[in-house]
Structure 1
């Protein structure tokens, strides 16, 4: 599943031209073989209409559940919460391709047919839909709307609205909706309140993804399109919150709708407790943190363990007016670090990439910047049961990898681990290994400069965005550049504004750049856009490293079509090996816990935390305001 709702920052929005160049990241071969796959798929009994659906097995909560396990069904309603975003915005339409909207809007002001439980890897429960039904192999999914489901203006949600929303978002909506729509063969009304989607590929996750598509009101857009919408064309939603006031680029205020249609649903009990949510925008992270210290903001998330340990001892904390909460989780580390663009020589040579990883003295850098408090990412799915296991591949993981053994890089099957230094600044042992790898790849030092056989010096450019949330990236690269100098490599650090960065990133105009891919306990179709062959050379895609691996795609195929979690875990661990041993990214530290500093009046259930930990489904979703 796409983990975008776990991200604390807004995704970069690509140009309309880029969108038209690529409507679907999914592999073409899947389309041509879909009919055969559906014919040979093992037949299973058809599912009955249900209150929920899980990727594997049955939903954990029964049909008569009272509330989500991490929500407080007795939470009081009321109060105001103010949060901050770094940057700006020029749109209140989170579904259109053009413009940049506050990232929170598509979660707080709009709903989907089903809603998530963040205490399960990937399970949905009825929201706009009262029930869900699937075919024997999930080749189709059917939703039945609740009769009481309504938009914020009081008009009912109809099957016509649902069909129009799928079609419109799939054809002209934001890029995040395009690839799914390409896998829908038909969408049709099957009853007064029922709609069925039939898929043209074999992919068990599609039934769940369909349940998470937002539903808009068709009548609002008669005579106009999403792409032509003006600033005042705010899409009507069905969620508990509506846009109440705004000043473009500065702030937006959301008000809880007192007539919200679903306030008595079990999925909504104990959620959406604040009367008002205000989002304010700041030019950089430092200014936003100062506003929080002055209690102009209700909470901030801190991603640096060193800052958490040393910079949150100001008077409001000491008085108890601000509380520091740590939220553990069980989700994967994801991958954060400096991605290498394999479309460019010499980064297309794994030995050069391996050398650059050895030269990155993580232990020293981590100690200098975070006090050594944050553990390193060891693989894409580290910190979870989906992570590759130490040592050689075994069992089902080995069986999945063996057909591709001739194409896999060293360490994939035999076992791979990131290099470690002794923590000293010199990093002598790893630099010696790095130089040997470079020599093997045809690079030698001449007059202090690393050159190839054609006397071309090795020069690299790292592209960074001027963003307070990743301000430490520049400090890391400053230390790293001095290490590369010792190898005879020149590293240029380019720090540019967001608009320039978005354009250059979309065109893959960099050697290295900072990358963050948040991964979940239910990785799915988004993996094609992250590391799929078809997305590797598509401008604007999220496959920044340009990986083209038939082995990786085969593992994603297996993940999506696994009928039990055992097979799914094996395929994910195999994918983790392929990506990690591919040496595409220089990993940095993981965010093993969530750190939230907040006003003392903001409360949450401490006795029952979701396995996904912090995120918008946690704060502000299930928190509440309570005077001491």
Structure 2
């Protein structure tokens, strides 16, 4: 996630600014001498186990490859980074493997200093050579391309000493020395005698609180606490990772997984399916209060979820076609009849956030567009017409038909034909069968216009390969955002990622005006200016109909057996699984 940076000067040296923490646009909440984060219980007793579910399968214990699936939990439990993110601040990091950094006065390099006690799970010290090896491996062609995109502004890396390493930048980037702190660190001994690009089933050698105990691909994976974990007494780990054992059991079907949970096969579930949440969380264990059903509030920037139009496909290269198809989705009906009125419609690429553009453009947006030479006609009202709940779907379908008529498309024998006399039809790529009930009414409305929507659920491995190679017409995708979006926007929406396999630019967006705004967001060191650029980016993306907006919820729906102790304070910005594994403990 993005980490914008405004450094507050604590120590001045000839080299630049030395510090332990980083925050964007504010003084970090916690001092250099803090003992623990406020959302943990520093007195939590360590022990016990937690059993969880995972969907699909896994093929490799290497989570950094493009062409293989890694098990759930591996990245957050086994690997660590130079800095630790705070979950109760918009964008702050604190020294973890590193004890400080020095940003050069010219902003073109940063030096990180590694703690003397930081060690890998095999007992080896973590050195600057390990950090350099990790970075260079992750930006190599064998790794997932997201890393090359994320750290594209890093020119080179120099090892200064056993415990110090310098990153040199191509150009000034206000967030880059913070995102460097997100590099997962691992030992080169993990890959001895093997190629990084191979699907590796040997346990990683990293520095996290857990190590892989045992596994069976596609069935389960057990993580156990590293009894010699180096960081147990660090303030960035106080009250965290309290379970001795964490177990993930894999299921192919979410309905089967829920029944297994209710029967006591595992202990915690995060529900993202409204129908199941409304109707299926009942039974003897609920009646006896053995299972607790709860909704946790959060302040996350919800970003946007939607049906992605793959604009690389001829059908969806025309914005008017995308607009017409967007008009056919009846959210009001779906929310009432399918979602039990649990959701809100996404009205922005930054839903539930101050970064969301208003319907009318502000003068600041107009001035920014002028500064960046973005045409005036793009700075127009956000098109909310299809969101109007006062209009019936009949009116929306009529508007869609008018668009197709204007394109010269015509209906014959209840089939819509384009100007090339080709029937209009497309495929929807699915990995979860539960989504089929949502597509059924969408397909029904499309059929009224003579359009055929085809969909079926496929194996998760095949699904991932199709996504990575952009082999789909339409698919559902969620773009969560942080409170300070930045480098990750390149992978999502920038022209440079539109044809990079494995990128998150699933719509194939390639627009120089979008590029200008993303770069303005990334390189801004003023939060107010970043917000204006984000609003204008939101406006332009929204009005180009790259996706059909779905819905979001500002709560996490969870259920769990009453066998855990929770901290008193919730964080503000968090995902439930990560929060629970970090902060809960056994009774």
TM-score (norm 2): 0.93
The CA deviation string for residues 75-131 of structure 1, in whole angstroms up to 9 with x for no partner, is 121110001101111222223455322131111011111111011122110101111
Structure 2 residue aligned with 1:195: 165
Please state how far the C-alpha of 1:413 moved relative to its aligned partner: 2.2
Structure 1 residue aligned with 2:33: 64
Structure 2 residue aligned with 1:480: 442
Please state how far the C-alpha of 1:502 moved relative to its aligned partner: 2.7
- 1:186/1:197 contact within 8 Å kept: yes
Please state how far the C-alpha of 1:561 moved relative to its aligned partner: 1.0
List runs of 5+ in structure 2 lacking aligned partners. Answer: 4-12
List runs of 5+ in structure 1 lacking aligned partners. Answer: 4-43
Please state how far the C-alpha of 1:226 moved relative to its aligned partner: 2.0
Structure 2 residue aligned with 1:417: 384
Q: 1:408 to 1:210 in 2, by over 3 A?
A: farther
Worse-matched range after superposition: 448-457 or 359-368: 448-457
CA distance in 2, matches of 1:371, 1:97: 37
CA distance in 1, matches of 2:514, 2:521: 11
- 1:122/1:521 contact within 8 Å kept: yes
Please state how far the C-alpha of 1:507 moved relative to its aligned partner: 3.3
CA distance in 2, matches of 1:156, 1:164: 14
- 1:88/1:249 contact within 8 Å kept: yes
Please state how far the C-alpha of 1:404 moved relative to its aligned partner: 5.1
Aligned runs of 1:223-302 on 2, under 5 Å?
A: 223-228=193-198, 230-231=200-201, 233-302=202-271
Match of 1:363 among 332, 337, 360: 332
Look up the SS of the partner of 1:567 in the other structure.
helix
Q: 1:405 to 1:2 in 2, by over 3 A?
A: closer
Please state how far the C-alpha of 1:220 moved relative to its aligned partner: 4.2
Aligned runs of 1:482-521 on 2, under 5 Å?
A: 482-521=444-483
Structure 2 residue aligned with 1:105: 74
- 1:416/1:581 contact within 8 Å kept: yes
CA distance in 1, matches of 2:330, 2:231: 52
Worse-matched range after superposition: 609-618 or 578-587: 609-618
Give 1 or 2: higher strand fraction: 2
- 1:118/1:617 contact within 8 Å kept: no
- 2:137/2:143 contact within 8 Å kept: yes
Match of 1:176 among 139, 146, 170: 146
CA distance in 2, matches of 1:167, 1:538: 19
- 2:241/2:581 contact within 8 Å kept: yes
- 1:378/1:418 contact within 8 Å kept: no
Aligned runs of 1:431-580 on 2, under 5 Å?
A: 431-465=397-431, 467-468=432-433, 471-472=434-435, 474-580=436-542
Look up the SS of the partner of 1:516 in the other structure.
strand
Match of 1:406 among 351, 375, 379: 375
Q: How many residues align?
A: 576
Aligned runs of 1:308-327 on 2, under 5 Å?
A: 308-327=277-296
Structure 2 residue aligned with 1:589: 551
Please state how far the C-alpha of 1:265 moved relative to its aligned partner: 0.9
TM-score (norm 1): 0.87
CA distance in 1, matches of 2:313, 2:221: 42
Structure 1 residue aligned with 2:585: 624
Please state how far the C-alpha of 1:368 moved relative to its aligned partner: 1.6
CA distance in 2, matches of 1:284, 1:138: 50
Structure 1 residue aligned with 2:357: 388
Please state how far the C-alpha of 1:63 moved relative to its aligned partner: 0.7
- 2:72/2:248 contact within 8 Å kept: no
User: What is the CA RMSD across the aligned residues, in angstroms?
Assistant: 2.3
Please state how far the C-alpha of 1:290 moved relative to its aligned partner: 1.1
